[in-house]
């Protein structure tokens, strides 16, 4: 009995975050299972050398792939593997072709925790509803917002952390009752202004979150460069008879992309 109970706890551990969010246990279980299945496929089809820096986040059957891969081939292959999971409805591919950099990764980890702390410290935001990924100073938010104001505030909190280059939000509105229109979060929060339009200093004691050093100016909050792909839109570029994707080797019958060299390290 003890062994069985321990096994159940170990299985449920990855979903505890989902249980604390507005998702049901079943939704959290489905999303966690999908993320685990995608990660397993990446491990068995490339391993750490190709997909070691790929982060997989799944919320409400929506997959966000972020991180770094060595070439365009791995970028396409990671998305293809994600689509082999039947419980996936949408995939956003934000993978970048970059090399490993310890200093950059440490800075990204610091930014991740500062954004997380800001969301958890704001009583108007349910921080457990949000998944935060940071790569090269770019913050990717994925999750479910209860209101339009919460969605906007979450992105604005991320934009205020020192070191953030930009914020890309994939946060969805959780429909409860009458659906609320999604707010415009394509620009960062503007500074406070008086009736004449002149900027004024904010009250430091009003709604302050004294956790991370704030940036001198908010980072831009921008929409995704390319919209997520739905299952009906996605076509496997490596399927038999499919047109070879750009950069493919014309002598390769299945149209696989040629690997490109890893870019040099940036100072």
Q: If pLDDT is split at 50, 70 and 90, which confidence band does 70 have? A: very high
Average pLDDT over residues 197-211: 43
Whether residue 195 has pLDDT greater than 50: no
Taking the C-alpha atoms of residue 72 and residue 236, their distance in angstroms, rounded to an integer, is: 15
Percent of the chain with pLDDT over 90: 45
Averaging pLDDT over each range in 182-186, 213-217, 254-258, which range is the top one? Answer: 213-217
pLDDT > 60? residue 109: yes
Higher pLDDT, 217 or 241: 217
The DSSP line for 39-98 is HHHHHHTTHHHHHTTEEEEEETTEEEEEEEESSHHHHHHHHHHHHTSTT--EEEEEEEE-
pLDDT for the residue numbered 228: 87
Is the confidence at residue 223, as pLDDT, over 60? yes
In degrees, to the nearest 5, what angle opens at C-alpha 131 toward C-alphas 67 and 216? 80
* Tens of pLDDT, residues 2-41: 434 333 433 444 444 444 556 677 888 889 999 999 999 9
Q: Which token pair is 87?
A: 């419980």
pLDDT at residue 142, rounded to an integer:
93
- Average pLDDT, stretch 224-236? 81
Quick one: pLDDT at residue 20? 56
Q: What is the rounded average pLDDT of the residues 104-126?
A: 93
pLDDT grade for 160, boundaries at 50, 70 and 90: very high
Q: What's the angle, vertex CA 39, arms to CA 143 and CA 131, rounded to 5? A: 15
What strands, in cross-sheet order, belong to the sheet with 90-97? 54-59, 62-69, 90-97, 229-230
Q: What is the pLDDT of residue 28?
A: 84
What is the band of 238 on the pLDDT scale with cuts at 50, 70, 90? low
**Model pTM greater than 0.75?**
no
Domain covering 17-99 in this structure, CATH number: 3.30.1340.30
Domain boundaries, the chain: 17-99, 101-230
In 3D space, the residue among 174, 152, 102, 105 whose CA is nearest the CA of residue 133 turns out to be 105
Distance CA 172, CA 151 (A): 8
């Amino acid at each position: 009995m003890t062994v069985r109970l321990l096994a159940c706890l170990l299985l449920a551990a990855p979903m505890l975050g989902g249980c604390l969010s507005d998702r049901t246990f079943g939704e959290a279980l489905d999303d966690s299972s999908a993320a685990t299945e995608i990660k397993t496929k990446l491990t068995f089809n490339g391993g750490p050398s190709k997909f070691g820096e790929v982060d997989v986040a799944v919320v409400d059957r929506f997959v966000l792939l972020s991180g770094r891969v060595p070439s365009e081939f791995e970028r396409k292959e990671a998305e293809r593997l994600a689509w082999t999971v039947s419980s996936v409805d949408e995939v956003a591919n934000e993978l970048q072709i970059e090399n490993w950099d310890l200093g950059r990764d440490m800075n990204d980890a610091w930014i991740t925790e500062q954004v997380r702390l800001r969301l958890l410290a704001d009583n108007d935001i349910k921080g457990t509803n949000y998944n935060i990924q940071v790569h090269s100073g770019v913050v990717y938010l994925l999750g479910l917002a209860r209101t339009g104001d919460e969605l906007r505030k979450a992105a604005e909190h991320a934009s205020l952390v020192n070191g953030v280059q930009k914020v890309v939000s994939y946060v969805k509105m959780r429909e409860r009752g009458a659906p609320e229109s999604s707010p415009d979060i394509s620009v960062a929060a503007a500074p406070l202004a008086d009736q004449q339009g002149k900027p004024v200093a904010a009250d430091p004691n009003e709604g302050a979150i004294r956790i991370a050093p704030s940036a001198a100016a908010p980072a831009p909050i921008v929409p995704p460069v390319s919209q997520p792909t739905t299952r009906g839109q996605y076509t496997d570029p490596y399927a038999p008879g499919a047109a070879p994707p750009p950069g493919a080797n014309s002598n390769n019958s299945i149209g696989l992309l040629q690997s490109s060299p890893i870019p040099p390290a940036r100072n």
